[in-house]
Structure 1
């Protein structure tokens, strides 16, 4: 054991006196932890095996390796160190530990260490300098959450400002025994898969307490458990498929709210969702829903986003944030670049010469603009010896247009083999496995992992992913983008294709990777597979009732189809499927009669004619029927409904026959042919088996049995059987609620609201319309928003608020006309006329 003082950064280690000093103050350490630290420091730079360290500290007594792991954790806590980004003790997976900091010896060690302290200390700039105020704000939010007031907060700032570092520091410094889950949004086709960051955070939570949380998921959030199939036992997958078939976005929101409330009952809960500027519509809806809930619970949801990527474009998140901020339902914590004074104050505690510290601070701030990430990179370059004197290096180091030259310098220093690995890794994404990179490059897996370990150990571009052997991540998005931009177009395409093939052959279900696979195959110039996986990703989004995301994926798929696959054998099949699904989604979210649908359905009919595929033809015919029906072209819609029936009967297609009978019944009803309408509605219900046909909403964007009951109830009402009709409407509403399908539920709610209009019950109309409006706004159903506004306006007029009611009806009619619909327009105008009458505006009413 050395008798000399050993100094590293602001620590001094006295082996003879068994003392560890921090800024001259003693740090308490257990004897075994002290002995382990001394041994590691004295063997600095060398890998110390686990068995060697056990023998050196505990002798030859039998001690489990968990004791050693706990001891290392104690040392890291005393040294303010991190396992993920170590400054002092590095873990070499399965082998042992290495002390990596520079150490000075002798009586002048503290002085010499202080002289150089700024370099390694500044590696933690983003979490140590000038962040006292945001950390205090996070502490206050935590106190409120502990008191039963759930909190939603957003940390905002430009790339490299230190959002992630602040979050990590907050989580590490918190004394709470909180359960913490982290998820991250990724950049994909405009918006990522529905709930992607939430599912990642949820998976992170379950990994920490699988027995309790998987059971809790099964009890209160089965639709979320179905999204994490690896936690199901062998008997559950089929049951979960049924759960998914009946899942709705509204149900998923309610389940998640109940889940986090119960999770936080025993331990406080912190959910971190990073990079929300790439978030999906469904995740934004979930955050808004959770913020508006009034339950007492102990949770904190912490998000981060880049304002410029949200506020300067028409991003959905902008509108969600605006509404939450106006209502005081969230907290924003903006991060600003560090001031010269903040950098100087920090340096003055580590550099003894005040003039030197001031010069450093001035040069650092001028070169980096106070952006913490840039500061770290500049100091690392100085430390690497780019100039003989640190001050000179800071003043002369080039950072034009932020980081480009500095990154180029670091990248060019690497050998060809290391650069090639980083380039291939950048194609995979922000995180990657050595095995995937090796496959993409057709290299030996062990060789690639060895090189990745070397890069991570030297903190060059990448770092190991904690607790996942063989996996790594880029230290910042700048690194990943820089490496990606330095690949030739031809090489980039080849790498993307090989990565796509590798992922395609993995054991994961393709729908879990559909968006990622589409991205790789498109950039790998395999257009057919790119379109295939875009369609699969859209179908997955529809199953999760995330229609906006599905529409975006389909638009991209159709553009790719027209640009790259025109004339190919796959063109007709994909053209039919993509156009039909896209049209049905537009019908749901914009209205059945929007002008764009006519062109889309014409393309779908042209494509399906080439195929001779009856099931596909039936889907197209249904959509064309619906388009003409809401435009009140009843003769044309009747022709399409009859063609649908004939095709379905000839093919023996039960799903098509159910849809055809509903279409015929509804059309005959609106033509005044009530007996025919009654017969077709009853035939539809006779063919419909709930267990077999409960997922037909995926074909028709609505459940045929709910719609047939709507038709049957209205016919009974018109034929003079109001009590029987109300029973049928009640059944329709119960079925829609049981299915949990939002669009079918909107149909059933509208039917009930209309009946209350007919019964002159304005208070009941308001109640039904409020529920319909909430549902329609949540899912973006313009058609039902318009209908609810019109009926609600009539109810307001009947209750004495005539002017307000007239305004609501007029706004609803404007929205209704924008959907292209002409269906029951005269009925709406009678409600407006009656409202004018209530206001005494007789001429306008006439």
Structure 2
């Protein structure tokens, strides 16, 4: 270790302890007298932070330690209040020993107080000597008990072992100690040891202030363990046992329920230290040995294939620290040495729901976009980059992605959010492939377990296009992530296992470089790291930085010379490295709070220290390889070498300090980085959430959700909005909270429906909760969308009574607030429920009222409020209703008017809904060719804009048209395809279309089954609008069926036809009555009942006053002529 590093460590330790003896410093840092004089010259004379006391003690006289107080949160009168300052402290793992005298009360009755005092002093002397020998810290005396820490103020690599050794030495000493008087029993002790998380630091006030007080259950557990120990024995917890396993002989001591501890704790009785045995003796079998040569070879081989034009994907999985990043780094070095192109994308746990975050970050770095750039300058850089690939027309997609304004010379994006997302992904894909076409390229994506859904979607698209490109895609992830991409000819998967003994030894040698480590030390590192490369690397560095040779062998006297700083676990190793960073440690902790990767600009804005101090600290962190650095000056970005290092630095902070840091970060982002908060409101929401400033966080989660909806990133939207709703639960139940929750629930409705599906419990919960909130807060403008969302849910659940009540309530509300646009929508919603219920006459009335209120000039407003122009959609539904009621010409007229308006509006989703109903109008008019044309247009539009359910309906209705035009098998297959894709077909219609197609293919029993299933659903949900047609089809299929039931087919078919006629008459559905009458008339004609048949059909036919050119009426006229 360099002398400069020793000075920094001594300074940090002295700053913390206030007083240090030179004897301790010599032992701790292996210093001689000359080193001590140099140390005094530096700290006393040069830096003036210490003073000498009698040539024996070094005393701190400098400034207070750099702690959380270095980060002062500026107060804001409107948003934030100044924070309460807390004493410095930290969270860390600590091994605590509690030792107490057995029978001290009885002893006090047998000894004179002065004699008792001498006994206690002798006891304390033995304990203190043992604790000091193993470099523990005697924290305090508690009567005849004492408390000792192992692992603080300085951590050792074997603190748990040191505590146990000290305990065994104390117990052994008292076993051999003679009694104080012949009449007394020998003095005995009990010792309890436990390892766990604590908060350690200053506590108290005035003269009672403690500089190293420990808070947490760890000391309590150690004390309770002491109580159950036998005389002169050491009892430890299972946690400590795991850390000393293989070093000591110990036996299970049960799992008692300790006083004051809620759950039982497994306990062990330590008998002795193992002598002359390997630490492996008490361990489980190690992971099988696996090297890295094969993995590196595979990567290099795939790279060679890529250079030949055969694109490759490598899926690289493994546990944290197993070497994924190291393997990717080797590939990067190899590729860049050849002058090839490399792109690196890193997924972030803070941005798991930020759509395309890794790609946005890559673009910003690649384009060199800086905060100093104006929006125009950023757009210019983007234009120049796209020009390289002749992709200037895609600039609006990229400006939207980067939250930049689109120049006026570019046409606006008049597409749905879903389509915009698809086009953006395609444009990103085009750029990536175009670059790879120019030059062989490697793209490394790290930490895919934190990837957002949209990024994973992009990767899926990229992987499909990869085989014929010069692109190598390397994806790393942890075991909790399951790749969606199965191994194929161009996809390879690697799962990294732990290193074997030989590989660990080679790695230790390389990390240690010119520092020679003994075979014992190498073996200790190998055993403790269990072959995990990160563990090996970090632990070896800790040994090297300790600056002294160590040995793992123990003498009979129990002494150890194990090196300082060799931790027992990775957490302790990283804490030891952070301990040695001095003033750089708070910078590492703040950086960890910012994220895995952070900019110098943001760090410096948050940190209250000078630029020089911040730069010095960052330089130390980079030199220590805690951080990596990219760029220079104010554009420098830093990222933690390993996520585990970031986690360790972050978790070492007190929770109160974490909240303070998050609070300041949020305020700085809001005040100084408006572009970042505008583009990534979820980032600000995260920091406010972690700062426990819930009321500040919730609006940003809402904003983040709305932005995600605009990008069709519905999964992310649900996550953001749900997080906001979860936070609301912590707020008191005020009217303001109810209003805020209502806003979130309403925003959640659309993305939740898209991601979970219509009629799911999640959608129901959101819809019903929004209504409940409206009841709580009273009449508000939000009641209208709340009622609409609930209506939509219950309609798709076929709960028509509830849907009807909601529509009627919506009419009442719209009338009360004089909202004509909402009233038009409400009438249209009620009409749809009534129509599906078979109340066509009432449905017609409400549709005509809706259209009377409808103003096409308000179309954009309707779309903004309800997602679609439900007014114009009423034309198509009214056309269908008019046909059913017997007015085919009026139906055509209404349809044509609506089609004209739809074309003028040119809104994709509105058009899709209109074309869906329009195709059904053609279907009931039996215009098969027109149905096919409209269906194909609907499919094309839906596929282009991303409307899967309407695309499925188009396929369904096209299948029917093909079946009617002689392509029965193809048509039937398409009907099944549409149904399997959850086509948006009204209940009743699906079974009817399927039954007709089955009839055309001669699959009569299948057709009857389809009708039976649909009629069962009708009886359950009450959707009787198509019931008459279902019974008519049942009769037709029954007549053709070869299966004979208990009754004759003729009788059963005749009953079905009569049932259809009765239902149609009840519903005044004249067109359906005409069809049923024709079917029954044909049957009677075959039975010779021409007169009855003519009388039946003539009565219905002559009711009509229009539509005589339609197929149904033409067939009816022809049939009547044959019955004369």
Taking structure 1 as the reference length, the TM-score comes to 0.68
Other-structure match for 1:456: 621
For 1:7-18, what aligned pairs fall within 5 Å after superposition?
A: none
Other-structure match for 1:186: 348
Q: For residues 163-188 of structure 1, give each alpha carbon's deviation from its aligned partner in whole angstroms, at most 9, with x where no partner exists.
A: 12221221221255543322111114
Other-structure match for 1:763: 970
Greater relative contact order (CA < 8 Å, ≥ 6 in sequence): 1
Q: Which protein is bigger by CA-based radius of gyration?
A: 2
Other-structure match for 2:856: 687
1:194–1:280 contact (8 Å) kept in structure 2: yes
Find out whether 1:703 has 2:909 as its counterpart.
Answer: yes
CA distance in 2, matches of 1:394, 1:227: 62
2:705–2:721 contact (8 Å) kept in structure 1: yes
Counterparts in 2 of 1:824 and 1:140: CA distance versus 1, 3 Å: farther
2:767–2:793 contact (8 Å) kept in structure 1: no
Counterparts in 2 of 1:178 and 1:787: CA distance versus 1, 3 Å: farther
Find out whether 1:338 has 2:508 as its counterpart.
Answer: no
For 1:290-369, what aligned pairs fall within 5 Å after superposition?
A: 290-293=462-465, 296-307=468-479, 309-310=480-481, 317-318=482-483, 320-321=484-485, 324-325=486-487, 330-345=491-506, 361-369=522-530
For 1:258, which of 403, 410, 430 is the aligned residue?
430
Counterparts in 2 of 1:457 and 1:589: CA distance versus 1, 3 Å: closer
1:425–1:437 contact (8 Å) kept in structure 2: yes
CA distance in 2, matches of 1:697, 1:217: 38
For 1:455-604, what aligned pairs fall within 5 Å after superposition?
A: 455-459=620-624, 461-467=626-632, 469-505=635-671, 506-508=673-675, 510-561=677-728, 563-604=729-770
Q: For residues 74-99 of structure 1, give each alpha carbon's deviation from its aligned partner in whole angstroms, at most 9, with x where no partner exists.
A: xxxxxxxxxxxxxxxxxxxxxxxxxx
2:939–2:952 contact (8 Å) kept in structure 1: no
Find out whether 1:172 has 2:323 as its counterpart.
Answer: no
Other-structure match for 2:440: 268
Higher helix share: 1
CA distance in 2, matches of 1:377, 1:287: 33
Counterparts in 2 of 1:732 and 1:350: CA distance versus 1, 3 Å: closer
CA distance in 2, matches of 1:834, 1:383: 90
CA distance in 1, matches of 2:866, 2:453: 21
1:427–1:495 contact (8 Å) kept in structure 2: yes
CA distance in 2, matches of 1:359, 1:382: 12
Q: For residues 53-90 of structure 1, give each alpha carbon's deviation from its aligned partner in whole angstroms, at most 9, with x where no partner exists.
A: xxxxxxxxxxxxxxxxxxxxxxxxxxxxxxxxxxxxxx
For 1:710-729, what aligned pairs fall within 5 Å after superposition?
A: 710-718=916-924, 729=935
Shift of 1:518: 1.6
1:337–1:369 contact (8 Å) kept in structure 2: yes
CA distance in 2, matches of 1:577, 1:275: 34
Say which is worse superposed, 276-285 or 202-211, in terms of deviation.
202-211
For 2:592, which of 399, 409, 426 is the aligned residue?
426
Counterparts in 2 of 1:685 and 1:178: CA distance versus 1, 3 Å: farther
CA distance in 2, matches of 1:196, 1:795: 50
Shift of 1:277: 0.9
Q: For residues 486-521 of structure 1, give each alpha carbon's deviation from its aligned partner in whole angstroms, at most 9, with x where no partner exists.
A: 222222212212211221231315352222222111
Q: How many residues align?
A: 690
CA distance in 2, matches of 1:451, 1:206: 29
CA distance in 1, matches of 2:593, 2:724: 21
Shift of 1:305: 0.2
Say which is worse superposed, 292-301 or 263-272, in terms of deviation.
292-301
Other-structure match for 1:98: none
Q: For residues 387-441 of structure 1, give each alpha carbon's deviation from its aligned partner in whole angstroms, at most 9, with x where no partner exists.
A: 34599999756766631222222222343x4333332222211222344345445
Find out whether 1:229 has 2:396 as its counterpart.
Answer: no
1:572 aligned counterpart, secondary structure: helix
Counterparts in 2 of 1:201 and 1:141: CA distance versus 1, 3 Å: farther
For 2:450, which of 263, 274, 278 is the aligned residue?
278
1:185–1:196 contact (8 Å) kept in structure 2: yes
Say which is worse superposed, 477-486 or 668-677, in terms of deviation.
668-677
CA distance in 2, matches of 1:729, 1:744: 10
Other-structure match for 2:880: none
CA distance in 2, matches of 1:685, 1:668: 20
Counterparts in 2 of 1:151 and 1:768: CA distance versus 1, 3 Å: farther
CA distance in 2, matches of 1:766, 1:250: 28
CA distance in 1, matches of 2:937, 2:909: 13
Taking structure 2 as the reference length, the TM-score comes to 0.53
CA distance in 2, matches of 1:566, 1:375: 50
2:759 aligned counterpart, secondary structure: coil
1:275–1:304 contact (8 Å) kept in structure 2: yes
Counterparts in 2 of 1:651 and 1:135: CA distance versus 1, 3 Å: farther
For 1:3-82, what aligned pairs fall within 5 Å after superposition?
A: none
1:496–1:521 contact (8 Å) kept in structure 2: yes
Shift of 1:193: 1.6
1:604 aligned counterpart, secondary structure: helix
Find out whether 1:145 has 2:306 as its counterpart.
Answer: yes
2:355 aligned counterpart, secondary structure: coil
Say which is worse superposed, 662-671 or 823-832, in terms of deviation.
823-832
2:344–2:443 contact (8 Å) kept in structure 1: yes
CA distance in 2, matches of 1:193, 1:482: 25
Other-structure match for 2:154: none
CA distance in 1, matches of 2:515, 2:1037: 79
2:735–2:777 contact (8 Å) kept in structure 1: no
1:223–1:244 contact (8 Å) kept in structure 2: no
2:546–2:564 contact (8 Å) kept in structure 1: no
For 1:128-139, what aligned pairs fall within 5 Å after superposition?
A: 130-139=291-300
1:762–1:798 contact (8 Å) kept in structure 2: no
Could you tell me which runs of 5 or more consecutive residues in structure 2 were left unpaired when the two chains were aligned: 1-289, 370-380, 554-559, 871-907, 1053-1124
Say which is worse superposed, 432-441 or 238-247, in terms of deviation.
238-247
